Amino acid sequence: MIKVHCIAVLSRQGNPLYVGNFDQQQEDVKYHYLAHTSCDVIDERVEQNRAGDLFLGLLQTVGDMVVYGYVMNTGKRIILASSVSTESAAVRNALVKEIFQAVHAAYIAHACNPFNEAGSEDRLADANFDSLVAAIARARSTPSAAEPLPRARP
Amino acid sequence: MAELLLRGAPVEDTGTAGSDGPPGRGRTATGWTELPDDDELMEQVYVKLEAVGFRVGRRLAERFAPTSRRLTDTLDVVKFVCKDIWMIMFNRQVDNLKTNHRGIYVLQDNKFKWFLRMSGNSGGAAAARRAQPYIWLPCGIIRGILDSFGISTVVVAETLGLPQCTFQIKVVTDE
């Protein structure tokens, strides 16, 4: 199980397109900060391993939170902050990667909607995307969750 | 789409319409329609079609970018356009890709799908000129795809004889 605190989508230049705060214990600004500090780590990882996977693994640990990163081929970055748990690293990585792929699919669905043109370069304001990502974040937060993650309509 | 734009709203704007009624404008006995002899209008159509293609390209890139590997340099991205995107759009791959390794890529398609059924009575050159508006949309698509991979480019296309088509991609550096 993964208690997801935050999922953020950033542009190639690091502008926050979307920051979803799912625990309400911390203020949004904390997650904005996390997302931005992670940008440098992502740049470093991408530079180090140029032909790797889209999933970048664990980026940093901040207090009781762990931050994972994922970079799309089109330059957008997804960042996920969750609380530390007891599972092994391999199990966690697989779970987090699955969540990233679901968020990526939700992003693609958003990007392919021809009506989402206005201002989509600097803000990702889409109610469908919001609710889908919230559902994805919730889906793995109970110990027994085994059903597939919510998917965007193809 | 190209035909619509050439005969549609912009024609009224520039005041060239209505010489002999909108539907039959420029039509000869053979059913062949000439392109309007108006560079300004053609320019407007070009800008419009290229912009539409750009938006389509941006979305194609998001939708079909590979999810299992990262494309890092420009050549990788151009190869992705030649193989995957061409397969999706035209059901074939580009025949020939040339590059000078200094930011110019030339994609040659010997049987460009949209040109396969086009021909003209008055010879290949006239038909090639007449087909020009139809390659502006794919030009925009290519530029849109490369743009979403973070590469700014200028894309121009030309055709020598009809089913053949050549796209030249020139990478623009920010200096």
Q: Which residue of B has its CA nearest to A50?
A: B72
List of domains in chain B:
2-16+38-68+81-171 (3.30.1380.20)
| CA B140 to chain CA centroid, nearest Å | 6
Q: Among all residues of chain B, which has the CA nearest to that of A71?
A: B70
C-alpha to C-alpha distance for A53 and B127, rounded to whole angstroms: 47
State the pLDDT confidence band at B93, using cuts at 50, 70 and 90: very high
What's the rounded mean pLDDT across residues A44-67? 85
Any B CB within 8 A of A47 CB: no
What is the 8-class DSSP label of residue B29?
T
Q: Is B15 in the A-facing interface, judged by CB distances under 8 Å?
A: no
Average pLDDT rounded to a whole number, residues A50-68: 85
What are the structural domains, with CATH classification, of chain A?
4-139 (3.30.450.70)
Report yes or no: B51 at the A interface, CB cutoff 8 Å: no
Provide the pairing of β-strand A77-83 with A65-71. Answer: antiparallel
Inter-chain residue contact B70 with A73, CB threshold 8 Å: yes
Tokens standing for residue B116: 């396969």
Residue whose token pair is 């779970």:
A95
Q: What is the ipTM of this complex?
A: 0.84
How many helices and strands, by DSSP H and E, does chain A display? 3, 5
Cβ proximity of A96 and A7 under 8 Å: no
Band (pLDDT 50/70/90 cuts) for residue A68 is: very high
Cα distance between residue A111 and residue A130, in whole Å = 13
Please tell me the pTM assigned to this model: 0.83
Chain A residues touching residue B148 (CB < 8 angstroms):
74-75
Q: What is the pLDDT of residue B20?
A: 43
Which residues in chain B have Cβ-Cβ distances shorter than 8 Å to A73? Answer: 61, 65-67, 70-71, 149
